[in-house]
């Protein structure tokens, strides 16, 4: 719709931007980022009610270790925000 000129503005998350551009046949050079933040969302891990509490605790501890070590931030930068990681190089 954007490429066809039927709309002048679309909303898209940072994570979904490239896929949306690919589907529309557009490049990043053809759009302008308004820098308007419409909201934030956090990711969550969900477990089946049948999951043992000990297993959930192991996951929580492992995740806490990732955060404390800085590895979580490195993974986010590398895989979820690759443009930011590339511009820092």
For 57-89, the pLDDT digits (tens) are 999 999 999 999 999 989 888 877 655 544 444
Segments forming the whole domain that contains residue 29: 1-41
Structure confidence by residue, pLDDT tens digits, 23-66: 888 888 888 888 887 877 777 889 999 999 999 999 999 999 99
Q: In this structure, are 28 and 68 located in the same domain?
A: no
Conformational region of residue 5, where left means phi above 0, alpha means psi within -120 to 50, and beta covers everything else = left
Q: In this structure, are 33 and 54 located in the same domain?
A: no
- Count up the domains in the chain and report the number: 2
Global model pTM greater than 0.85: no
Q: In this structure, are 30 and 59 located in the same domain?
A: no
CA distance 62 to 67: 9
CA distance 35 to 38: 9
């Amino acid at each position: 719709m954007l490429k066809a000129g039927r709309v002048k503005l679309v909303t898209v998350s940072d994570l979904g931007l490239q896929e949306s551009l690919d589907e529309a046949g557009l490049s990043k050079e053809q759009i302008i980022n308004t820098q308007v933040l419409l909201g934030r969302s956090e990711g969550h891990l969900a477990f089946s009610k049948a999951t043992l509490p000990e297993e959930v605790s192991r996951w929580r501890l492992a995740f806490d270790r990732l955060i404390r070590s800085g590895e979580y931030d490195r993974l986010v930068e590398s895989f979820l925000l690759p443009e930011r990681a590339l511009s820092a190089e």
